Structure 1
Amino acid sequence: MSPTTTAQTPTGPGAAPAPRPVLAGIPAYVPKPPAPPAEGPSHRLFLNENPYPPLPSVAETLARAATEAHLYPTIQPERLTHALARRLDVPPAHLVTGPGSVGIYQQIGQALLEPGDEVVYAWTSFEAYPIVTRMAGAVPVEVPLAGGVHDLDAMAAAIGPRTRAVLLCEPNNPTGTAVGAARLERFLDRVPGDVLVVLDEAYFEFHRSPDAADGVALYRERPNLVTLRTFSKAYGLAGMRVGYAVAQAPIAEALRKCAVPCGVGRLAEEAALTALEVEGELLERVERIVAERERTREALLGLGWEVLPSETNFLWLPAGRDAERVAAGWERRGLLVRAFPDEGLRVTVGTPEANDLLLTAAKETVPPAR
């Protein structure tokens, strides 16, 4: 090739656009494969869903809103934004909405991460973390859990000159554990002001410890803190995809600039608004789920299973190498649980009937050796 000759890009029928090279290192989210046929009904205990259907008032709202499904929603769900602002006592300009918390994580990646930035988070934690980090071209810095709990000292030590963000799931998914407000505040005090901290409180309503953190209270004095919450879990609207973030105005404005227009649809906004109006009824259901969580955990412990204390709507069984074996056996009974290979089982708290079936299966299964 002469000095003046340039390489030619292939054209024609055999050519195809090349995806960004960074995508090769991003783990794809793999849906749970179909379970073997079960004898009797199956119970979805692998996605941390609320086991109860929408309240009648929410269902009626959805039916009415469906008649306007041919119309675009507003660019931002302004009515929901103002309702949340009143509910949380924060300025509307401090609120950001998105199609679930995952949608807001993508906005964070677009608004604040540059290629080569480092992002610190615990592992194992929310599976979106490595995906969002790598999608932005940033570098994951994964800090192992300590006994299933965030090792905040190790996370603080992992923050370096290239650290741009810290992602912290409180309580943690998939282990259900929490660090509590006191330890969290000490950690936040150690994070440099130019490092963003994303506090994911997807399971906030299930946290019963007297030391439970409240990210909405914490963000008021911390310009580098973003608190995420969702309507998917306690409010039982996982299928509607409504999440929101609370942050100081400069960060919130940047996130809104990266939001997908009309990302929260008309039906989703109306359902969330009604859910806020009947919040008391919904939180009664949360109390039932918490009671079932504790009942099921105590029974599993009595059967010889190791189960971590949980502040969420699921339980973590550190089954180690037996995780996939146990999950496969339970699925044949109609219990679809989430196995993390060589780590453990995440089991959503279901209806009392589902939890009773789980206890029967656990009684008839040899617990993993500790």
Structure 2
Amino acid sequence: MRVLITPFPWVPHYYPIVPFAWACVLAGHEVRVAAMPSLTDVVTRTGLPAAPVGPDPAEAFRRAGVDFTPPRGSRRAERPRQAWPRDWPAHPERLSEQQRDYFRKIGLFASLMADAQLDDLVSLARDWRADVVVHDGTQFAGPVAAEALGLPNVRYLLGYPGQLRVDTSYGKDLVPEFPPLFERFGVAPRTEPTAWLDPSPPGVQYPWAPDARVLAMRYVPYNGPGELPGWLGEPPAKRRVCMTWGHTTAEWEGPALVGFIRRTIDAVLGLDVELVLVLSETLRDLLGEQPAGVRVAVGVPMNAVLPSCAAVVHHAGPGTTMAAAALGVPQLMITNHPHNAAMAARIAATGAGRHLLLEEAPEGTREIGAEVAALLEKPSFREDAARLRSGIASQPSPADVVTRVEELVR
């Protein structure tokens, strides 16, 4: 079987599928990862062959006349104008037009990226004679290539449901830029994949439609390669708390969030703990020198740091959230995006952590320190995090799921 994997060209959209890709390789199948050139080095560092398709994202947007420059403001992130309904991914009818417009913009974003890749991706899939296309929810070029060539497609989730239906404005019409991608190849839009690949934990998954073909898969934490510092192999002298704000969030919103992150660092340092900051180079430079008692780890995979931690404080990005869930670590999730908030709310509902919206998070340090202290002191958080971990471990392994995907191409 020839498995063509094509992710949206952001690191958090690629890493979740790497364990499945390697399961395919170990089962004797051929795998290629087709992505924009900006992701090529990331792909090759995971040991998989990369096939560049299209230009870099910035060039794709330049051709479309859209500004791709990340914001570099210094203010705290703008507060949402309207509260998002509880469990909105399962209840799109509860969304306002303003909230649907949020996904229309993501759909435009994804469509412009797909348009720049499609010719190369379709040619690659045809010439290589791919058997199946595996893609994430915002890689709109994936279903187009599959439909154009009559191939099955598997749409994988990142471990959370917030971008489940971004090709629609959640429950209404397709985003207007999506159908023309199919029209270029004379085919009808494929809105439902041949199968969904869902690593969301039991109890966190949103209900699926009865006719949806869903392949549940155990989430295997993968946060990239990296050199491990010597201290990581030593038992911590105090309870260890990890703090991170991810890769994409740091690049796009670091300047706006740096003040809040500094205050959160102060809050954790007020406890009797060892604090480890897992940072991108961008955020490390923005935060500057750290006080004594703080370890700074740049480029160290989260799945290597978290097993030694008693709690983690983060922004509820999919990589950190799911790695912590799979490793049984209680979480304090502070979110300022609706898709991250949707996942954080579900994790918090299991009892495995706490969730705060950024606009509601206190400016002072005492309250945030109390939230982290509760994760450390109340046994219920550790017990519920352990139950969540067991639920994830009970899911079919990536190797088991490979056999299910084989059935799609027979």
TM range (shorter): under 0.3
Task: Compute the TM-score of the two structures, normalised by the length of structure 1.
Answer: 0.27
Task: Compute the TM-score of the two structures, normalised by the length of structure 2.
Answer: 0.25
